[in-house]
């Protein structure tokens, strides 16, 4: 951490403005020009991460393309003392997340209109922001009027970027404002930013995000499944037409939204003023974009020609200071006016996967919602062997009081050394007893039948053969477990030939180094004979 008076990359540090997961932002004095800048530094421990470093450098490159009065200016970037840095325009103001909420409608629309103009400029230049939210909108006093500036292009990417710099296993958009296609890993275009802008408008007007919940799973479900919440339910003073505008901008399908952010903002302005035709709320029909097909966001063609933002007749941003009921920014943070620089809010990482389609059954979100392929396998095994494993996915009693636990990703939890052989399974029921003389059993489900066969063959290669037996579609492989040259226990590995169970493997195990296969195997086979395996 740099202290006041330190010099970094020629910049004299005045104070720290903020710190996030990727780095810190400092107020600094330019080494040659008489101005203050916001200096963002990547955390030194992240410098070795090639992906994070590439994302950080790309932020400056993307933002440097954009010259617009509603976008924070990037001046320079470089590397000094093993740390990446970016210098940016310092904005002495507050962000839209810290002002008093709910925000008066006129001011909220003024903020959205300025942000919409910034986003459309970015889109025309081939850049998606991908993290639009109140905290990334800065508000500053400019000659007595409120200026709106969009900041934090830290996770932005060009439209045609196919080398995504967001790892599988991390999600870098703020969940409360993320479009459905962003959650599902589907193709993104400019309308994903519009969706986030609509969420921002709702948050400004109500004080809460559209699908706000303590549980992130509920937030995801809201974006993917729930209809847009009504503004009028929280703000009965607003025109009913505002609900129709937000319903279109928050449509689950990008094709049902407005063609541009400016068009959305203009529709919201008309709805608020009660003038003009109101937008159609699509129930499933596809809207036709105004720019030629094919969609340039899909094939890398020319950028769409959006109409330039037109000022609303008779409306001007309210003056600052305000003396006619217009509330001035009141920071929620303790300490009064806060100097806000670019990127005070950094990339939000949420354990999970970006590449996820709602129909996909193999990712962390589907696991969390208990609708993944692994959960379906766990439920199917519960149904097939109701006396062996509990119903559902929670821990519970198994056969003769054994404690059973369900795992939707067995790579996270393999308790025994020999289980590493089956670590590629998608799901596992683990049932055991505190009595070492009892037989423990494990039910595994693999993604494919070939995967199950491969795991069983590998286990057979690691153990000694004690014969086979067949019962219906089930084949039991009797195995002697030997580790470090000595007997470790007896096991029976069961596979199935019928299509409903061919991806499943059952393992029964008992014994220890203090017994023998001659003593353990007969008991193990007797136990299996009385287990309710169907």
CA atoms of 18 and 464, how far apart (whole Å) = 62
**Angle CA 382–423–433, to nearest 5:** 55
Q: How many CB atoms lie within 10 A of CB 178?
A: 27
**Terminal Cα distance for the chain, rounded:** 64
Residue carrying the six token digits 């609900």:
243
- The answer to whether 211 touches 252, Cβ cutoff 8 Å, is no
CB-neighbour burial class of residue 56 (10 A; exposed 0-12, middle 13-18, buried 19+): buried
481: β partners: 463, 489
Active-site residues, by number, are 131
Q: Give the H or E element holding residue 349.
A: none
Residue 426 near residue 447 (C-beta atoms within 8 A): yes
Task: Name residue, tokens 């609708």.
Answer: 371
191, 192, 194, 200: CA torsion to nearest 10: 170
Helix (H, G, I), strand (E, B) or coil at 351: strand
Paired residues of 443 in beta bridges = 429, 506
Secondary structure class of 392 (helix, strand, coil): coil
Candidates 154, 157, 100, 106; CA nearest to 342 is: 154
- Chain center to CA of 529: 47
- Rounded CA gap, 374 and 393, in Å? 10
Tell me the three state secondary structure of residue 372: coil
What's the CA gap between 371 and 212, in Å, rounded? 22
Residue pair 510/442 in contact (Cβ under 8 Å)? The answer is no
Both tokens of 410, joined, read 């067995």
């Amino acid at each position: 951490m740099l202290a006041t008076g330190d010099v970094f990359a020629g910049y004299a540090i005045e104070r720290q403005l903020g710190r996030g997961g990727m780095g810190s932002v400092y107020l600094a004095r330019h080494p040659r020009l008489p101005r203050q800048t916001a200096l963002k530094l990547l955390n030194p421990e992240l410098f070795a991460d090639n992906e994070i470093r590439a994302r950080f450098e790309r932020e400056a490159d993307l933002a440097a393309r954009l010259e617009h009065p509603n976008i924070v200016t990037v001046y320079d970037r470089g590397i000094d003392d093993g740390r990446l840095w970016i210098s940016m325009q310092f904005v002495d103001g507050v962000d839209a997340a810290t002002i008093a909420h709910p925000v008066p409608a006129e001011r909220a629309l003024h903020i959205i209109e300025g942000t919409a103009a910034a986003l459309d400029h970015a889109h025309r230049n081939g850049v998606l922001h991908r993290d639009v939210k109140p905290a990334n909108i800065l508000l500053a006093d400019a000659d007595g009027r409120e200026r709106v500036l969009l900041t934090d292009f830290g996770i932005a990417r060009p439209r045609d970027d196919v080398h995504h710099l967001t790892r599988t296993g991390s999600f870098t958009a703020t969940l409360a404002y993320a479009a459905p296609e962003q959650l599902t890993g589907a193709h993104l275009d400019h309308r994903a930013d519009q969706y986030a802008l609509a969420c921002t408008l709702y948050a400004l007007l109500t004080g809460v995000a559209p699908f706000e919940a303590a549980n992130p799973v509920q937030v995801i479900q809201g974006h993917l499944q729930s209809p847009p919440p009504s503004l009028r339910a929280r703000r009965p003073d607003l025109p009913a037409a505002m609900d129709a505008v937000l319903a279109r901008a928050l449509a689950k399908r990008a094709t049902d939204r407005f063609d541009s952010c400016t068009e959305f903002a203009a529709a919201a302005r008309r709805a608020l003023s009660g003038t003009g035709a109101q937008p159609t709320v699509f129930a499933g029909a596809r809207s036709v974009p105004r720019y030629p097909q094919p969609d340039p966001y899909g094939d890398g063609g020319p950028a769409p020609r959006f109409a330039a933002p037109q000022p609303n007749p008779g409306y001007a941003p309210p003056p600052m200071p305000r003396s006619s009921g217009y509330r001035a920014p009141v920071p929620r943070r303790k300490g009064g006016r806060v100097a806000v620089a670019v990127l005070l809010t950094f990339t939000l990482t949420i354990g999970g996967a970006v590449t996820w389609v709602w129909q996909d059954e193999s990712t962390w979100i589907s696991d969390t919602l208990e609708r993944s392929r692994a959960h379906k396998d766990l439920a199917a095994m519960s149904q097939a062997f109701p006396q062996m494993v509990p119903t559902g996915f929670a821990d519970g009693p198994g056969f003769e009081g054994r404690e059973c636990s369900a795992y939707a990703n067995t790579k996270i939890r393999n308790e025994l050394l020999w289980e590493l052989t089956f670590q590629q399974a998608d799901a596992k029921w683990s049932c055991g007893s505190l009595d070492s003389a009892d037989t423990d059993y494990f039910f595994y489900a693999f993604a494919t039948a070939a995967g199950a066969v491969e795991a069983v063959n590998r286990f057979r290669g690691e153990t000694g053969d004690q014969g086979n037996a067949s019962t219906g579609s089930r084949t039991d492989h009797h195995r002697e477990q030997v580790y470090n040259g000595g007997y470790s226990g007896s096991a029976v590995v069961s596979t199935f030939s019928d299509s409903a169970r061919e991806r499943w493997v059952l393992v029964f195990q008992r014994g220890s180094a203090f017994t023998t296969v001659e003593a353990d195997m007969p008991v193990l086979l007797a136990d299996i004979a009385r287990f309710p395996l169907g």
